[in-house]
Amino acid sequence: MQVVLDIISWVLLTAGGAFVLVGGIGALRMPNLYTRMHAASVTDTVGAILVLGGIMLQAGLTLATIKLAAILLFLLITSPTASYALANAAMIAGVKPEAGRAPDTEHDS
């Protein structure tokens, strides 16, 4: 039983890590702000769910699992809100969503 849980947990953790990596690559490589946000949101949602799920299985039925569940719940509420606020601010600032390679609005890094 413990071995099965361990295997599931590691599969979840690895898959979560892969999604976070994909999100990171996307945030770097995508052509403009909105597509970058789209890529980065993978990290917040699927990545967070999988990684936190994996850790919860490692922790078992303890107080730590409840805390992790609370963290996941707050993440699932706050990160879409942050994404919305960011996209909304970009719209107000005049960054237009365009198909294809839109001119990058970032001045420098």
Partner 1 sequence: MTVLFSVFLLTLLVITAIAAVQSRNLFVSVMLLGIFSLLIAANFLLLDAADVALTEAAVGAGISTVLFLGALALTFEREHRPTPHRWLSLAVVFAATLVVLYATFDKPKFGDPGAPVQVHVAPWYIEKTPEVIDVPNIVTAVLASFRGYDTLGEVFVVFTAGIGVLFLLSASHGHAAQRRPHNGDESKIGLRNDLIPRVVGRLLVPFILLFGLYVQFHGDYGPGGGFQAGALIAAAVILFALVEGEERTLEAIPRGALLALMVSGAMLYGLVGVAGIFLGGEFLNYSVLADDPIAGQHLGIILIEAGVGLTVTGVLLSIFHAFAARDRF
Query: In this complex, which beta carbon is closest to partner 1, that of residue 4 or of residue 108?
Result: 108
Question: Residue 69 and residue 85: Cα distance in Å, rounded?
Answer: 24
Query: In this complex, which beta carbon is closest to partner 1, that of residue 21 or of residue 98?
Result: 21
Q: Which amino acid is at 13?
A: L
Contacting range for partner 1; rule: CB under 8 A; set: 3-11, 24-32, 52-60, 82-90: 82-90
Task: Output the DSSP codes for 35-90.
Answer: HHHHHHHHIIIIIHHHHHHHHHHHH-SSHHHHHHHHHHHHHHHHHHHHHHHHHHHH
- Does residue number 84 form part of the binding site for partner 1 (CB under 8 A)? yes
- Does residue number 81 form part of the binding site for partner 1 (CB under 8 A)? yes
Sequence-separated (6 or more) residues with CB below 8 Å from residue 17: 47, 51
Query: In this complex, which beta carbon is closest to partner 1, that of residue 18 or of residue 84?
Result: 84
- Does residue number 2 form part of the binding site for partner 1 (CB under 8 A)? no
Residues at the site binding partner 1, with contacts judged by CB under 8 A: 74, 77-78, 81, 84-85, 88, 107-109
